[in-house]
Structure 1
Amino acid sequence: MRKLQHISVHNFALSNGETTSLGLTYQVFGQALHTAPIVLINHALTGNSNVTGINGWWNDVVGNQNIIDTQKYTILCFNIPGNGFDNKEENLINNYKDFTANDIAKIFEIGLYTLNIDTIHTVIGASLGGGITWHLAVNNPNLFENIVVVASHWKADDWLIANTFIQDNILNNSNRPMEDARTHAMTFYRTATSFNKKFEGQKEAHFYAVENWLQYHGNALKNRFQLSSYKLMNHLLKTIEVAKSHEEFTNKASKIAGHIHLVTINTDGLFLADNNWETYIQLKPKKENLSISEIKSIHGHDAFLIEFEQLSKILKPIFQLSTLKRIGLTKYKQTAS
């Protein structure tokens, strides 16, 4: 695993007016910073900065000769503060309701400033990471050449808020908070069709296979994730709110200079596909460089972690060689020499 690096953030003003100091950790993969076009990846709820390599959670997308090629790009990923990836208890966040997705975006902005990054080839985020990506793009309309939002939306809808509310109740009231919250979450990360096709009513010993599978995922998360981290990440989902209305959002998003690529999933039960199509229809008249693609899958929200072939085909035009030439890969090589 690439070395985890640290940035100290002092006296950061949260959206609620409180001030805090915290640590921001990150990893860099592929080419060294400032020697190649930069791809910023924003991780999902239980994800982290380890996007590729040993235990990399997006190895099928990021890596040597993959669609986001580590031979051609610098890949940067920040950890959402409080996600526990640095294994330092003092960096966990217990006052999780004080933070918003926009706060996290602004903390990432401090990280970019600290690293002297003023232009980024592509920012890409899925699920919670996609919401943070929207906030970053609206806050910095001239920073990104490409903005890729996968299985996410610019505003938490009532359905998403309802699910985060149930999750928060489980996390604060259950005797097995991590296991119970995770098993509940798996039922809306996937679909009924996905479950039925995978298990077909099979039994293993005295339990249904689906019960064992859910228990496995609950135990696995408990063993690798902190309770305070889960509470924070779940809470951040419902705070995604680039704008309060479609009109306000359209005005803000139309000012983004880069090409916005929406990637939705037809069976997503968390961030509904209809919301992304409505965004596309309303924004397209005011923003020509806007596109939308849809992953077809029985697997629901988790399809962005399963349907790698479809996702790679969607991303290919963004990361093909001609794009590198257009932004000046030669310039980066000369700077590094």
Structure 2
Amino acid sequence: MNTAESSPPGSVGIVQTRYVELFSDGRSTLRLDCGATLAPVRVAFETYGTLNADKSNAILICHALSGTAHAAGRHHADDRKPGWWDNFIGPGKPFDTERFFVICSNNLGGCDGTTGPSSLDPTTGKPFGLRFPMITIADMARLQKGLIDHLGIPRLLAVAGGSMGGMIALQWALDYPNALRACVIIASTPRLSAQNIAFNAVARQAIMVDPNFNGGDYYGENVPRPVNGLALARMVAHITYLSEKGLHEKFGRQLQDRRELSFGFERDFAVESYLHYQGSSFVNKFDANTYLYITKAMDYFDPFPDPETTAKQLHKVAARMLVISFDTDWRFDTSRSKELVKMLNWHQKNVTFEQFRSIHGHDAFLLDDPLYMESLTSFLKRMHMETRHPTQSDP
């Protein structure tokens, strides 16, 4: 639900987060890859634009690790910060809400309205904490599919996502081949490298050694939270989202609020203050346990562990695939995108690959770039036109 009244051009306006309980009938459950089940499962989501009569214009946006269902617009008139992909979603933007009905939900395991470790366990009445079952990228897609079914949409025009969101989009193409026409995978990977798993391990360790972690049971009023560990985890991760050139151009070796070195352990440099701000602000909006679970889900993601599995998985893929990477993204290097494209080509799938230049590293997928945005716009317009004028070759 949204209104564009008193909003700048291109904005979806004031939006509202909606909530739905799935698997609440007492008979069905969300079955997880680890063997556990969850029921009921609460899902937070937002929608932008209007679903057309034949329900053929819906696009699902999958968010990255720290994202939320709030992808565009503002929650109230005085809201200073719009949704995390606001520059891409709205009238005249790549995900054009005058043409598309755009959906974004908070991921399973999240801390922004969807069931996760901070939610109440119905069997105990207390927050799950580390009693929450382990989840996977496939489980996240499975819950999203439940939401799309609940909304009565038989087939999505596209599923799109960047970073971890790209992993979820790929999982959709593998698990629900008849439920989407196109799949957009941006700054992502078919599996984490050993280096990426190592970064996640360090981040989790920072959280778990915090004196206030308390085995994941830190919920309740006046209970100290592991904010120092979570802030450190965010600082480490944030370094990997940026490129060396981007950091140099933004900060260099400039000092922060001082004219000379402290000759101590103060935050002398601007880049130090920037990272401290990123960490300290993150702890006010994110749950440490969610960080543990979601990074582990990313570690586990590997839909193509061997040639036999690859052939079996890709045989059923019917979606048009658009894979996008950025030349300075060293967290999810372009070689990872090319690895996926090569597999798709070998199995004769319809795939387009584009690499864009950017100084912004992994975070480039969130930022304005005319060529990148035009590529997305063109691809989605083409898919939309084909729904209006299908051909025999259309999957």
Common topology (TM > 0.5): yes
SS of match in other structure, 2:129:
coil
Relative contact order, higher structure (CA 8 A, sep 6+): 1
In structure 1, what is the Cα distance between the partners aligned to 2:369 and 2:308? 34
Q: What's the CA shift for 1:247?
A: 5.0
Q: Is 1:13 equivalent to 2:31 in the alignment?
A: yes
Q: By percentage of residues, which structure has more helix? A: 1
- Distance change >3 Å, CA 271–CA 107, structure 1 → 2: same
What does residue 123 of structure 2 align with? none
Say whether 1:212 aligns with 2:273: yes
Is residue 2:238 matched to residue 1:192? no
Aligned match of 1:31: 50
Tell me what 1:50 maps to.
70
Deviation at 1:93, TM superposition (A): 5.4
Cα distance, 1:189 vs. partner?
0.8
Structure with bigger gyration radius = 2
8 Å Cα contact 2:327-2:355 kept in structure 1? yes
Offset of residue 233 of structure 1: 2.2
Match of 1:326 in 2: 386
Secondary structure at the counterpart of residue 248 of structure 2: helix
SS of equivalent to 1:117: coil
Partner residue of 1:90?
Answer: 119
Matched to 1:281, the amino acid is K
Pair 1:310-2:371 in alignment: yes
Q: Which of residues 18, 27, 32 in structure 2 aligns to 1:4? A: 18
Q: Greater shift after overlay, 4-13 or 51-60?
A: 4-13
2:242 and 2:362 in contact (8 A); partners too: yes
C-alpha separation between the residues in 2 aligned to 1:160 and 1:86? 28
Contact 1:36 1:72 in 2 (8 A): no
Q: Which residue of 2 aligns with 1:183?
A: 235
After TM superposition, the structure 1 stretch with the greater mean CA deviation from structure 2, 1-10 or 284-293, is 1-10
- Corresponding residue SS for 1:24: strand
| In 1, Cα distance between equivalents of 2:309 and 2:356 | 28
1:335: which partner in 2? none
Q: Which runs of 5+ in 1 are unaligned?
A: 330-337
Q: TM-score, normalised by structure 2?
A: 0.78
1:298 corresponds to 2:359 = yes
The whole-number CA distance in structure 2 between the counterparts of 1:287 and 1:218 is 44
- Relative to its length, the structure with more strand (as a share) is 1
Q: Is residue 290 of structure 2 the alignment partner of residue 223 of structure 1?
A: no
Q: Which residue of the partner structure matches residue 248 of structure 1?
A: 309
Q: Whole-Å Cα distance in 1 between the matches of residues 288 and 43 of structure 2?
A: 19
- What is the deviation of 1:166? 1.1
2:167 to 124, 128, 131: 131
| Contact 2:34–2:133 (CA under 8 A) maintained in structure 1 | no
Q: CA deviation at 1:87?
A: 8.9
After superposition, the Cα gap between the structure-2 partners of 1:217 and 1:50, relative to the gap in structure 1 and judged at 3 Å, is same
**Greater shift after overlay, 268-277 or 68-77?**
268-277
Q: Secondary structure of 1:224's partner?
A: coil
Counterpart of 1:71? 98
CA distance in 1, matches of 2:309, 2:114: 40
* Aligned 8 A contact 1:93 1:228 in 2: no
Q: Judge which range, 138-147 or 280-289, deviates more.
A: 280-289
CA RMSD in angstroms, aligned pairs only = 2.2
Tell me how many residue pairs correspond in the alignment. 329
What fraction of aligned residue pairs are identical, expressed as a percent? 23
Conserved? CA contact 1:171–1:181, under 8 Å: yes
Summarize deviations over 1:88-123 as a string: whole Å, max 9, x none: 953575335611111111111122222222111111
Counterpart Cα distance in 2 of 1:230 and 1:153: 19
